[in-house]
Amino acid sequence: MRSEAEIRTRLRSFVRRRAGDRPVSDSTPLLADRILRSVHVPELILLLERLRGAPIDVERLRPGDFDSIDAIVERFGPAS
C-alpha cells in the first residue's frame, strides 16, 4: 500500500487529465460535476488496485465512493 500523499498525487493526476481546463480540488464533486463519469470508473479502480496492491470488489461499490478525491482516499486509502 502506497502512502496517502502518493495516492493523492496519483489521483489528482488521473482526475486533472480528464478535467480539461476546469479547476479541481480534493473536495470537488467529481461525478456530480461530470468531471468523471461511470465510463471512467474501471480505469480508476485499476489505478487504485495498483496503489493498494489489493483488489476492489466492484459488486460492493456505491456511487458515493467516488464523490471526490477526499472520498476516494477515505474509502480506498491506507486508513480504509
Query: How open is the CA angle 9-62-24, to the nearest 5 degrees?
Result: 35
Question: What SS3 class is residue 13?
Answer: helix
Find out whether 28 and 67 touch, Cβ atoms under 8 Å: no
User: Footprint of another protein on residues 35-54 (CB under 8 A)?
Assistant: 37-43, 45-46, 49-50, 53
61 binds another protein (CB under 8 A): yes
1 binds another protein (CB under 8 A): no
One-letter amino acid for residue 66 of the chain: F
Closest CB to another protein among residues 45, 72 = 45
For binding to another protein (CB under 8 A), which residues are involved? 31, 37-43, 45-46, 49-50, 53, 55-58, 61, 63
